[in-house]
Amino acid sequence: MVVDFESAEPCRGFWDDAARIRNGYLAEVPTQTLVLKIAEEVGEVAEAYIGMIGGNPRKGRHKDRSDVLDELTDVMFAAAAPMLDLAGGPEQAERHMAERLEIVSAREVAAPPSGGWFGSFVAPHVLLRRQDGKVMMLRRANTGYRDGWLSPPAGRIEPGEDVLAAAIREAAEETGVRLRREDARFVHVMHRTARTLPGPCHAVSDFWFRFDRWEGEPHAAEPDRASEALWIDPAAPPDDVIPHCALVLAAITRGEAFSVDGWA
C-alpha cells in the first residue's frame, strides 16, 4: 500500500473519542499512572508479536496479526490519555499531534556515506506451472500489504541463503510443496523502485523461477497469510494480480528475461 505522507493527518474524531474514554472509566486515574501504563501496553505488543511469529518454542504460534494490531491500537489509546492531560484537551492534543506529524513526515532519510556500494533488496518468486500452462497464485491475507490481491509464492532471503534456496524455502512454507534445485528454470528478473521500498535505493530486484515438477499437493499452506490458492492463465491474469507481478507475467509470456518498473 502506498501512503501519501504529505497529506497524512490524525484520524478525525480520534481525540474526541479519546477524551470520552479519559473522562469515563479512566476519570480517576492520575496522569502519572497513565504514562506508566504505556510501557505495559508496549510489552503486550511484544508478547503478541512473539506469539504471532512463534518466537517462544514452548508456546509456538498462538497469536495472529489481529492480536498484534489490537495491542498496537491499545498503545495508541494509552498514549492519547496522558496527552490529553498534558496538552490541555482534545483540540490542543490534536493540534500538537498534527504539528508533530508534519515534522516527522518531512524528515529526509540520511544520505548514505559517499564512496560505498548500495544495492537493491532481493526477493525470490516461484511460479508452479501445471501441464495445462496455468500457474499458482495465492490470495494475500493479514499481511498488511496488498491483502486480497493475488501473487505467487515469494519472500525474502534469509542469512546464508542464495536466491534459489530462498525461493525453494518460501514455496515450501507457502504452498507445502518440495522443490529441487535442478528443476528450477530462471524466467525473469524485475528491478523496481517505489518510495515505500526499503534501503537507500528504495528498490527491489525480483528473481522469478519456474518449476514444472514438485512433490506434494500445492495449497495455501499458511492460512493466516493467504486465504486461498488458485491457478491462473499467466497470459491472461485476472485484474487482482498485484500490478508489478502482472507486468512480470506479461514479460515472461513475451519471452523477456528482464524488466524495470517505477524508474524515471
* Cβ atoms 208, 258 nearer than 8 A: no
The pLDDT of residue 113: 57
Give the span between the Cα atoms of 210 and 237, in whole angstroms. Answer: 16
The pLDDT of residue 105: 66
Give the span between the Cα atoms of 79 and 84, in whole angstroms. Answer: 9
The three grid cell numbers given for residue 132, joined into one nine-digit string:
495445462
pLDDT digits 0-9 by tens, 201-222: 899 999 999 999 999 999 999 9
Q: What is the CA radius of gyration of the chain?
A: 23
The three grid cell numbers given for residue 163, joined into one nine-digit string:
536466491
* Cβ atoms 136, 209 nearer than 8 A: no
* Cβ atoms 214, 168 nearer than 8 A: no
The pLDDT of residue 10: 47
Give the span between the Cα atoms of 94 and 53, in whole angstroms. Answer: 34
Give the span between the Cα atoms of 48 and 55, in whole angstroms. Answer: 10
Q: Enter the pTM of the model.
A: 0.61
The pLDDT of residue 109: 53
The pLDDT of residue 233: 98
Rounded (to 5) percent helix, strand, coil in the chain: 40, 20, 45
Q: Which residues of the chain have pLDDT under 70?
A: 1-12, 105-115
The pLDDT of residue 12: 54
Give the span between the Cα atoms of 151 and 139, in whole angstroms. Answer: 7
Within 10 angstroms of residue 193's Cβ, the number of other Cβ atoms is 16
Backbone angles phi, psi at 138, to 5 degrees: -115, 140
